[in-house]
């Protein structure tokens, strides 16, 4: 071939490559402009934005702090340990003398991702835990893209909605509240599955909706309750907006029934056990006055427009100057994390300009979310509106919860859907027509709001800083307004919306991810993963001392007070049976008599009731087997103590004091003498029956509740008999096997908490569980008995029936 021919062939090849490239580019452009392309772009952008936010904690070597680690991560570690040791995680013996984890909404037992990870990993890391929690927000963000696809939103609209949902406001501020975040993250998925199930009459989507709604409801706190109510409202709306709602509803009845059956099947048992726990807990009801302490002070709305106007994003060491118990003592039980509302400058601008002034919040499809947003805000302000007090008084379930400010968790998802609709409206319709009177009213309201925020800040001498933060955001809003006004063609509006959404996504990542609201150094909590230095030394001393004290009948308990956040629930991470912990939910009888407190990070929270637990050397302390006390101060400096005691000092300062208490009672003991008394009456009186030192140490006398049945022969024959011998031969959190030797009828007590669901067998024969010494579990054993087994079976039909009868107010007898 000649050089000319080769050149010509090469030219044709280059043109073919160019033509193919042009065709490929055209195909890509067409795909990007298609509905499927919009969905793919949105999904990729949302995932990238989420990943960019998630990596901030890793880059800064921080973790989500406070409750996330001190409470939920500790429960997660217990869950993993229990599964890998062949036990169930239903009963937690390392928490408040024993705790029904299966009934506690915070235990993660009914959270499939956590259970699966715990099953695979015996010692999950904090990073893995945070990734599991944060992953729930990604699920919600991607589901919002699916919702936007169904409703014809452009990709930018879906991305903004997802960004608001994943990173906006209180979601960022209270990321440490794991139970709320995991339920919240599933809400958009439930909304999407609800629509698909109804529109397509899809049984698979119906089952998916029922399962997702059940997981939301199993959060069993205020936010899941309200989210569940909203799902019911959305389902009703979906049926009622049809031209022939009754006929449409009848055609969807099988789907509706399948949704309900799926959800009910999944939530019935956990809910029943939680109701049972509520009846026995320390806080079945909250007073309205207590709830109103956690109201959103309306000036906080200013940080919806300017994130740091009240110091919300200041480093923790510098503090903030917004409404809190520090600036409004006695009437404000919130802080900057609870009150945080910033969800992006574009979001705020669209809501005020296009939504309120332009009237687009009133369009079809937006109204339901606009109403939810308004009601959520009215709920959040608590004492400053009649709405929350009315809900508290008349709406079932609301009186169980203590924080109206939690309504912001409802405001943010409503805002996410509204922001998606507003961007979509702008791209398709352009700028709204805004009456001058509306601009005047809203402009005046904005000026008044910021003036109020600046004036409030002067109470903390931060008025100039609030004014500076206000000035910082004005150019941002100005630039966004100009950008939208200059974009006149449909294509220009797409570009403008995309630029604005990209900016807002970056803004939310920079401001709300790994901020002072939701990040602390990982090193501060590393003790819960791998103790080092002084913390490792303290833990080692306690573990060795407890191990040395273990015998066949002795299992020492420990109390840790004042050592700071990570120590509060460290006992359940390291297998120490503790008399206290960190949890707002506790068995009520135990809480009343022992008074360990909700948050033992400070000694001030540890009370000592004079009638039942006046000091560490009291009878109840001994029966609990409390042998080691770890304090942040000398024992004589503990506040609230009514009695002092002689102790053996194991470690004396300078930062931690460890003491050994003398003469703790054995964990299992046989009693040959019985007193019968009304245990509930003693609890109501806050009184624990006095015992002699000899009977406390030897266990030769026991008090049995008057509701329990004892054989007459036992009472008469055992009055002067000597007890035999009892030793623990096998122990798991949910099962205790005891070898006994006795020649006469006796009462065996396991000094672990009595609670419904515990069963006992003597030589393989089921026997009635006794309530002994007010708080503990026991059993009457005949002469010659050799093996006693206590087992926690909360899922037994007997216990579930008892819980159901208790819920209905029936006498279980």
Dump pLDDT digits (tens) for 37-70.
899 999 999 999 999 999 999 999 999 999 999 9
- The closest alpha carbon to 485, from 307, 344, 342, 349, belongs to 349
- The closest alpha carbon to 375, from 229, 163, 179, 235, belongs to 229
Provide the whole-model pTM. Answer: 0.94
In this predicted structure, what is the pLDDT of residue 811?
A: 61
What does the longest C-alpha to C-alpha distance in the chain come to?
Answer: 123
Spatial separation of the C-alpha atoms in residues 74 and 525, rounded to whole Å: 11
pLDDT digit string (tens) for 731-757?
999 999 999 998 888 999 999 999 999
The vertex-275 CA angle with 269 and 191, nearest 5°, equals: 65
Spatial separation of the C-alpha atoms in residues 560 and 701, rounded to whole Å: 30
Most confident of 112-116, 289-293, 313-317, 551-555: 112-116
Helix (H, G, I), strand (E, B) or coil at 559: strand
pLDDT digit string (tens) for 524-549?
999 999 999 999 999 999 999 999 98
Helix (H, G, I), strand (E, B) or coil at 51: helix
Spatial separation of the C-alpha atoms in residues 624 and 796, rounded to whole Å: 27
Token pair recorded at residue 83: 């599964």
Distances (CA, A) of 391 to 176, 373, 401: 27, 16, 11
Is residue 371 reached through a cis peptide bond, with omega within 30 degrees of 0 on the bond before it? no
Angle between helices 112-120 and 126-150 (to 10 degrees): 140
Spatial separation of the C-alpha atoms in residues 422 and 493, rounded to whole Å: 13
Residue 691 has pLDDT above 90, yes or no: no
Residue written as token pair 């996504």: 505
Residue spans per domain, the chain:
34-63+125-520, 531-660, 668-807
pLDDT digit string (tens) for 581-609?
999 999 999 999 999 999 999 999 999 99
Cβ neighbors of 279 (< 8 A, separation 6 or more) are 806, 807
pLDDT bin (cut points 50, 70, 90) of residue 718 is: very low
Task: Classify burial at 111, counting beta carbons within 10 Å of its beta carbon; exposed 0-12, middle 13-18, buried 19 or more.
Answer: buried
Spatial separation of the C-alpha atoms in residues 653 and 493, rounded to whole Å: 67
The secondary structure of 181-203, three-state, reads HHHHHCHHHHHHHHHHHHHHCCH
pLDDT digit string (tens) for 288-314?
999 999 999 999 999 999 999 999 999
Q: Mean pLDDT, to the nearest integer, of 479-497?
A: 96
Token pair recorded at residue 82: 């229990």
In this predicted structure, what is the pLDDT of residue 690?
A: 83
Cβ neighbors of 98 (< 8 A, separation 6 or more) are 91, 92, 587, 752, 753, 755
Q: Mean pLDDT, to the nearest integer, of 486-497?
A: 96
Task: Please check whether residue 95 is in contact with residue 558, taking contact to mean a CB–CB distance below 8 angstroms.
Answer: no
Share of the chain above pLDDT 90, in %: 84
Residue 660 has pLDDT above 90, yes or no: yes
In this predicted structure, what is the pLDDT of residue 701?
A: 87
In this predicted structure, what is the pLDDT of residue 35?
A: 84
| CA-based torsion, 270, 794, 177, 159: positive or negative | negative
User: Rounded to the nearest 5°, which phi and psi values hold at 367?
Assistant: -60, -40
Spatial separation of the C-alpha atoms in residues 7 and 762, rounded to whole Å: 98
């Amino acid at each position: 071939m000649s050089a000319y021919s080769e050149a010509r062939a090469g030219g044709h090849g280059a043109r073919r490559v160019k033509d193919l490239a042009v065709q490929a580019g055209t195909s890509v452009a067409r795909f990007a402009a298609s509905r499927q392309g919009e969905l793919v772009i949105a999904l990729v952008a949302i995932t990238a934005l989420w990943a960019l936010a998630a990596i901030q904690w890793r880059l800064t070597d921080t973790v989500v702090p406070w409750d996330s680690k001190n409470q939920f991560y500790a429960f997660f570690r217990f869950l993993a340990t229990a599964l890998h040791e062949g036990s169930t995680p239903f009963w937690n013996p390392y928490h408040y003398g024993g705790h029904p984890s299966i009934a506690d909404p915070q235990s993660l037992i009914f959270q499939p991702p956590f259970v699966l990870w715990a099953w695979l990993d015996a010692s999950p890391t904090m990073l893995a835990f945070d990734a599991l929690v944060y992953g729930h927000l990604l699920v919600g963000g991607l589901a919002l893209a699916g919702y936007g696809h169904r409703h014809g939103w452009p990709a930018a609209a879906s991305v903004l909605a997802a960004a608001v949902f994943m990173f906006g406001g209180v979601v960022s501020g209270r990321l440490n509240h794991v139970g709320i975040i995991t339920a919240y993250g599933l809400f958009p998925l439930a909304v999407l599955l609800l629509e698909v199930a109804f529109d397509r009459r899809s049984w698979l989507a119906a089952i998916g909706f029922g399962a997702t709604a059940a997981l939301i409801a199993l959060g069993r706190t205020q936010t899941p309750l309200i989210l569940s109510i909203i799902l019911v409202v959305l389902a009703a709306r979906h049926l009622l907006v049809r031209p022939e709602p009754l006929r449409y509803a009848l055609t969807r009845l099988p789907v509706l029934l399948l949704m309900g059956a799926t959800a009910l099947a999944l939530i019935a048992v956990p809910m029943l056990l939680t109701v049972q726990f509520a009846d026995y807990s320390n806080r079945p009801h909250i007073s309205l006055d207590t709830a109103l302490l956690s109201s959103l002070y309306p000036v906080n709305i200013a940080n919806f427009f300017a994130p740091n106007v009240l110091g919300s994003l200041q480093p923790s060491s510098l503090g903030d100057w917004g409404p809190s118990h520090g600036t409004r003592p006695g009437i404000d039980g919130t802080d900057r994390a609870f009150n945080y509302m910033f969800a992006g400058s574009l979001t705020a601008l669209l809501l005020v300009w296009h939504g309120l002034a332009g009237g687009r919040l009133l369009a079809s499809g937006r109204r339901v979310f606009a109403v939810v947003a308004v009601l959520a805000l009215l709920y959040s302000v608590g004492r400053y509106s009649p709405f929350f007090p009315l809900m508290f008084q008349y709406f079932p379930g609301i009186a169980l919860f203590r924080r109206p400010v939690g309504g912001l968790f409802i405001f943010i998802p409503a805002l996410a859907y509204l922001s998606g609709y507003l961007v979509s409206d702008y791209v398709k319709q352009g700028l709204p027509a805004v009456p001058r009177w509306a601009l005047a009213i809203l402009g005046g309201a904005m000026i008044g709001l910021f003036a109020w925020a600046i004036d409030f800040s002067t109470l903390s001498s931060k008025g100039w800083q609030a004014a500076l933060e206000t000035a910082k955001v004005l150019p941002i809003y100005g630039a966004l307004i100009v950008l939208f006004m200059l974009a006149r063609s449909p294509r220009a509006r797409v570009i403008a919306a995309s630029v604005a959404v990209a900016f807002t996504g970056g803004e939310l990542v920079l401001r709300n991810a790994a901020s002072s609201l939701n990040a602390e150094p990982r090193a501060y909590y590393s003790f819960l993963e791998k103790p080092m230095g002084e913390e490792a030394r303290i833990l080692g001393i306690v573990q060795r001392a407890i191990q040395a004290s273990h015998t066949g009948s002795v299992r020492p308990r420990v109390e840790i007070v004042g050592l700071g956040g990570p120590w509060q629930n460290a006992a359940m991470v390291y297998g120490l049976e503790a008399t206290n912990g960190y949890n707002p939910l506790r068995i009520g009888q135990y809480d009343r008599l022992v008074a360990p407190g909700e948050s033992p990070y400070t000694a001030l929270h540890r009370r000592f009731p004079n009638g039942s637990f006046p000091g560490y050397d009291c009878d109840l302390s001994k029966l609990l087997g409390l042998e080691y006390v770890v304090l942040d101060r000398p024992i004589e400096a503990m506040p609230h103590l009514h009695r002092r005691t002689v102790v053996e000092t194991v470690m004396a300062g300078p930062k931690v004091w460890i003491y050994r208490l003398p003469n703790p009672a054995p964990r299992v003991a046989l009693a040959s003498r019985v007193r019968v008394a009304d245990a509930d009456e003693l609890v109501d009186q806050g009184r624990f029956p006095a015992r002699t030192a000899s009977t406390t140490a030897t266990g030769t006398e026991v008090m049995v509740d008057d509701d329990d049945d004892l054989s007459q022969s036992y009472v008469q024959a055992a009055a002067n008999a000597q007890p035999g011998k009892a030793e623990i031969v096998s122990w798991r959190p949910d099962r205790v096997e005891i070898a006994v030797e006795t020649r006469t009828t006796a009462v065996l007590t396991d000094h672990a908490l009595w609670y419904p669901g515990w069963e006992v067998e003597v030589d393989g024969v089921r026997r009635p569980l006794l309530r002994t010494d007010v708080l503990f579990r026991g059993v009457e054993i005949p002469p010659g008995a050799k093996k006693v087994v206590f087992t926690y079976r909360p899922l037994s039909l007997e216990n579930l029936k008892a819980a159901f009868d208790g819920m209905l107010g029936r006498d279980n007898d």
